[in-house]
Amino acid sequence: MSEAEKLMNYINGAWCESSASQFLEVQNPATAEVLARVPLSPPEEVAQAAQAAAKAQAEWRRVPATQRVQYLFKLKDLMEENFEDLSRTITMENGKVLDDARGEMRRAIENVEVACGIPVLMMGDFSEDVSRGVDEYMIRQPVGVVASICPFNFPGMIPFWYLPYAVACGNAIIIKPSERTPVTMQKVFRLFEKVGFPAGIVNLVNGGPETVNAILDHPAISAVTFVGSTTVARHIYARASANGKRVQAQGGAKNPLIILPDADVEMTTNIVTDSVFGNAGQRCLAASTIVTIGDADRSFHPALAEAASSRVVGYGLEKGVQMGPVITPQSKARINGLIEQGLKEGAKLLVDGRDAAIRGYEKGNFLRPTILADVPAGGTIATTEIFGPVMGITHVGTVDEAIQLVNSGKYGNMACIFTSSGAAARKFRYEAQAGNIGINIGVAAPMAFFPFSGWKESFFGTLHGQSSHAVEFFTQTKVVVERWLKEWSRQF
């Protein structure tokens, strides 16, 4: 084990070394440099965080919302000041190119900005004279202690789909980052420290599945959010719900993108390849299945092949690089295996990105963009979330067939259409079974003031992250029916 920095937990307003018996190395996926060592924190450390959070939350909920958001205003300033450092940290631990990392931090900040509106967003409702002299109103109260379990692919943004709303609504929170990309949160928590949140309101517990299960089981934690793969999302949803917790679990994806013959070739090709190959395909909103319709194959197949082949692959901190590595050597091997399997099942190799060697970064987990055409419906490439830079192309005759194909998938995170026909776009928007729709957009990522709306096996729960959904998720409604003195209400 290397001497790289041991990451700490942040519990009850203090940095604490974990008593974990196991630490994992966090490697830069482009260089294989060991950036840090992350503890697999034992359940007792989750318990410490939960107890501290519960104690702190009892006082925090009494702080007026207008004052709670002052901490967020400060946090926004600090995030702006540290924007470049946080973005570079994301690139170093995740591999995405610096501009993508900056985009990620921008969305994180946007969520802080939206949550600054909590005094209005968490307002209740009031009805006067629901019966003679009787008034009824609904107020929102925080749910208590909440926890967010996060994936590797957006280490800076995904905790912010939740944390700003949770704390502004009067809750205390525990963040459990991915053990593969935990460094960004380590830096973000240094900013929380500077912001001066009261001890116990924001807590960081690093770890893996055992740490997660301790969160799911701890009685002081009332609500859990999860973002990650569908297999784990199911587990989180089932176990946390069985323990009586409020839970939302965002899962995996296999996003289809359909192209009509009337779509603009240049613009569409650029947007589509950015969607498929951006972040090396490791985005839950990456397009992965491209469906060309009618004559679209003639112009688009060569254009997509050309754009994929000319994409610049390398270390994301270097200028001009358009695509970085995938997260681990295991992930690279898995993606190569899926491509092999697709070829065995009859797909045609249009662009081969396997075994990419990048000069100067021979130890990195690099692949180049791969395109498989004539992907058989129902086969491995059409149905498996690859989470790598692989485009599968299927060709159909009509929009109806394309929509049928889109809706036959088990996931429902995103579906996109490229066309200049308003009627086709409307039909698609209306019928496609996915919660995020792009119309001439390749990554239909909702702004912070809209919910991140996965459907089907991409989501387990009711309320999503971001926006008014997060406010509802992190508050419980209380309805009060009220009658006062007879003479003041005139009569009953």
Distance CA 17, CA 9 (A): 6
The secondary element (H helix, E strand) that includes residue 136 is strand 134-142
Phi/psi of residue 193, each to 5°?
Answer: -60, -45
Q: Which residue has the tokens 């999503």?
A: 464
Q: Specify the residue, 369 or 461, whose C-beta has the smaller distance to ligand NAD.
A: 461
Q: Which residue has the tokens 């036959």?
A: 408
One-character DSSP codes across 174-235: EEE--TTS-HHHHHHHHHHHHHTPPTTSEEE----HHHHHHHHH-TTEEEEEEES-HHHHHH
Distance CA 217, CA 213 (A): 6
Q: Specify the residue, 370 or 458, whose C-beta has the smaller distance to ligand NAD.
A: 458
Query: What SS3 state is found at 462?
Result: coil
**Which whole-number Å values give the CA distances from 218 to 56, 168, 406, 414, in the listed order?**
17, 23, 39, 33
Q: Which two tokens stand for residue 346?
A: 């009859």
CB-count burial class (<10 Å; 0-12, 13-18, 19+) for 480: exposed
Distance CA 279, CA 323 (A): 6
Least distance CB 60 / ligand NAD (angstroms): 25
Least distance CB 261 / ligand NAD (angstroms): 30
Q: Specify the residue, 154 or 277, whose C-beta has the smaller distance to ligand NAD.
A: 154
Is 116 among the residues known to form the active site?
Answer: no
Instruction: Report CA dihedral (190, 326, 451, 192) to the nearest 10 degrees.
Output: 0
Does residue 7 come out as left (phi exceeding 0), alpha (psi in the -120 to 50 range) or beta?
A: beta
Least distance CB 154 / ligand NAD (angstroms): 6
Instruction: Report CA dihedral (106, 111, 112, 113) to the nearest 10 degrees.
Output: 90
Q: Which residue has the tokens 């839950």?
A: 284
What distance separates the 2 farthest-apart alpha carbons in the chain? 87
Least distance CB 116 / ligand NAD (angstroms): 23
Least distance CB 67 / ligand NAD (angstroms): 32
From the candidates 116, 150, 169, 284, give the one annotated as an active-site residue.
Answer: 284
> Which residues, 6+ apart, have CB-to-CB distance to 190 below 8 Å?
none
Q: Specify the residue, 76 or 246, whose C-beta has the smaller distance to ligand NAD.
A: 246
**Residues across the chain:** 492
Q: Specify the residue, 31 or 331, whose C-beta has the smaller distance to ligand NAD.
A: 331
Least distance CB 392 / ligand NAD (angstroms): 16
Least distance CB 461 / ligand NAD (angstroms): 11
36, 108, 31, 106: which is closest to 316 by C-alpha? 31
By the criterion CB under 6 A, which residues form the site for ligand NAD?
Answer: 149-154, 176, 178-179, 208-209, 212-213, 227-229, 232, 235, 250-253, 284, 385, 387, 413, 452, 454, 458
Least distance CB 179 / ligand NAD (angstroms): 5
Q: Specify the residue, 140 or 218, whose C-beta has the smaller distance to ligand NAD.
A: 218
Q: Specify the residue, 142 or 251, whose C-beta has the smaller distance to ligand NAD.
A: 251
CB-count burial class (<10 Å; 0-12, 13-18, 19+) for 90: buried
Least distance CB 138 / ligand NAD (angstroms): 29
Beta bridge partners, 476, equal 141
> Which residues, 6+ apart, have CB-to-CB distance to 404 below 8 Å?
none
Q: Specify the residue, 161 or 300, whose C-beta has the smaller distance to ligand NAD.
A: 161
Q: Which single residue brings its beta carbon nearest to ligand NAD?
A: 228
Q: What are the catalytic residues?
A: 284
